[in-house]
Structure 1
Amino acid sequence: MQRHALLLAALLATAPLHAQTLRLAGILGGKALMVSGSSAPRAVAPGESIDGVRVISVSRDAVVIESVGGRETLRLGAEPVSVGTHASAPQQLTLYADARGHFVSNGQINGRPVQTMVDTGASAVSIGRAEAERLGIRVQQGQPVRMQTANGVAEGWRVRLDSVRIGALEQRNVEAIITNEPMPYVLLGNSFLKPYEMTRKGNELLLQKR
């Protein structure tokens, strides 16, 4: 299967492609072999970008991409797709502090609505168990962990979230910690924030893709 995908990628790489076009050349494991313009094929995993176009998901014979023009599906063997001249526009979001100085925002986890709060001191996204169960996350399949908190040692579970989104910003396959303690918000730790440069001015926090 891998040799077939690589051979297909090599063959497609020799075909002339119009500028600002994107083609799916093959599937290699969980990554898509993408050809942008006349460049060589590049393996792109969900959540990663190529020339400003982000890969959302990868299946056996197709990939969902997102650019400034929205989302669309590329399929093996299909014609190249134009991604527009502004596909490299930066992804950014401005959040505003509430009365307590916290940056709270509506968001989505695995496509379901949640209330989030930025927490730069947390290594991973943190979710209370009750909220996780509401979201359909199977806690029992997570990896048990022990955490040091202000109240002592607490138990939790390490899981992977298919997607975490606030505004126009989305990350795939995000590490998260489920805790037994109830939490009023989903805390957005560095497992989500790491790809973004954060700039604070007064009560504004700008998150911009690096």
Structure 2
Amino acid sequence: MMGNKALLVVNGRTAKALSPGESLGSVQLVAVKGEVVTIRVDGAQSDLHLGETQASVAGGAPPVGGSQISMASDASGHFLAEGLVNGKPTRFMVDTGATSVAMSLADAVKLGVDYQKGRAVQVSTANGVAPAYALKLHSVRIGDVEVFDVDAVVTSQRMPYVLLGNSFLNRFQMRRDADILVLTRR
């Protein structure tokens, strides 16, 4: 949010700042109040909260086949996105310092990732060396962009997000425009 404007990303396209009454594709910004933005999509009204990334509002998930992802940074400067791992919803945080997609044991269980079939490894983290399981995820999807056979690690360390590391990011050209990170498929 920027005063009475809201920065919206629709179907993974480039973000645009809108004022109430303005539209981006089929999404119309209705109101900006405090930390809540009200939008209307195909006649259906929804509230979005500051920092929330909505994977879908009305009409289901966008079809697969896109080539670009746009993410706005949060107040801390982190790029967060809602997405899917093997078809199940999760929240990602971009981490260019992570070799691969990384998740906690709790996230792996929630996402149905059979980490015990992975290879036991040791990983270096900001908190030191930790045991982990290395494996491949069938798919990682953000918006209408889906990537297959993505290297990942599952660690016993607790994490607030699934880290979107270089095993995913290296398949894209990354460009930062102010507070927007744009990933374009290579």
Q: Which stretches in structure 1 are left out of the alignment for 5+ residues?
A: 1-69, 72-86
Corresponding residue to 2:159 among 169, 183, 187? 183
> Cα offset for 1:121?
1.1
Partner of 1:121: 97
Partner SS for 1:123 = coil
* Count of paired positions: 125
Aligned CA-pair RMSD: 1.8
Partner of 1:65: none
CA distance, structure 1, for counterparts of residue 126 and residue 81 of structure 2: 25
Identity %: 45
> Cα offset for 1:135?
1.0
TM-aligned CA distance change 1:93 to 1:152, over 3 Å: closer
Instruction: Indicate the structure (1 or 2) with the bigger Cα radius of gyration.
Output: 1
CA distance, structure 2, for counterparts of residue 151 and residue 95 of structure 1: 27
Partner of 1:6: none
TM-score, length of structure 1 as denominator length: 0.56
Corresponding residue to 2:170 among 169, 174, 194? 194
Partner of 1:45: none
CA distance, structure 2, for counterparts of residue 163 and residue 173 of structure 1: 6
> Cα offset for 1:160?
0.8
CA distance, structure 2, for counterparts of residue 127 and residue 151 of structure 1: 15
Partner of 1:160: 136
CA distance, structure 1, for counterparts of residue 90 and residue 174 of structure 2: 22
Higher normalized helix content (fraction of residues): 1
Q: What is the letter of the counterpart of residue 191 of structure 1?
A: S
CA distance, structure 2, for counterparts of residue 159 and residue 171 of structure 1: 15
**Runs of 4+ displaced beyond 4 Å:** none
Partner of 2:39: none
Q: What is the letter of the counterpart of residue 201 of structure 1?
A: D
Partner of 1:105: 81
Corresponding residue to 1:205 among 174, 181, 186? 181
Q: What is the letter of the counterpart of residue 129 of structure 1?
A: L
Corresponding residue to 1:145 among 114, 118, 121? 121
Q: What is the letter of the counterpart of residue 118 of structure 2?
A: G
TM-score, length of structure 2 as denominator length: 0.64
Q: Which residues of 2 match residues 34-183 of structure 1 at below 5 A?
A: 91-183=67-159
Q: What is the letter of the counterpart of residue 205 of structure 1?
A: L
